[in-house]
Structure 1
């Protein structure tokens, strides 16, 4: 090494040579009861959820994928699309008025030329109108609501109940 240059070990103490390393456990006083700890909190939460559900079973408890806020305590899983759910009673959801969607029923057009091209015709008179449903806290789109006020969730985190 040239004179006047210093190596990394000369300027910094390596963690193995440091005498000043203090563990977090050394700083915690376990004789004092933690201020924000409640050992009965899980039992209290379970009673609250059971009271809200009124003894009804559910396929999942749904949460927002962005902020993990609970959105639904009682829902039914879609038979065909296993990541989709429907519900009537929700919490922490807001209906977006700025965007609505219409589901159109498609049917094949008649005629030899159209049958060969595979074109389909949209039925302008039919279809349902859906409005966007978002998480109340973070505004993440989590599903839609139909004209019958049934919520259809497709962007949620399900958990076993």
Structure 2
């Protein structure tokens, strides 16, 4: 039973395939279930102490896969432009940039993989945007600028966490 959070994370990969459906109700159900499984996997893992290194990696992979497939679907049908999709993914680009920085500093293995606040906010906004798009509602461009801002904030959060933990490690070794 302690593998349930990981199964919920993997389920988002399969749920993403439902976004290719022409039926609005199927798409809405997939988006709703993606949000529910994202909440439940983290909640169960923390509440029942089922946290695993595999799960901390699998959860964001499930999220990203769902979002990427969703964006491909919405681009193909013309609901979202490539620029808007890139703005929605700006936080993910920021995280990849930070990972490259850690690789350059040879510190990637020392950095704890954990969920960050702006990541949760971004995922909620992405799923909310998907709900509106699935209902054929136009999204005003400033909403996509918010995604860019969240990407920048995520980069700052990651950077300061890394800098703070480096200072703590140096001070504790004295």
TM value normalised by structure 1: 0.18
Of the two, which has the highest radius of gyration? 1
Report the structure, 1 or 2, having the larger strand content.
1
TM value normalised by structure 2: 0.17
- Using CA pairs below 8 Å that are at least 6 residues apart, which structure has the higher relative contact order? 2
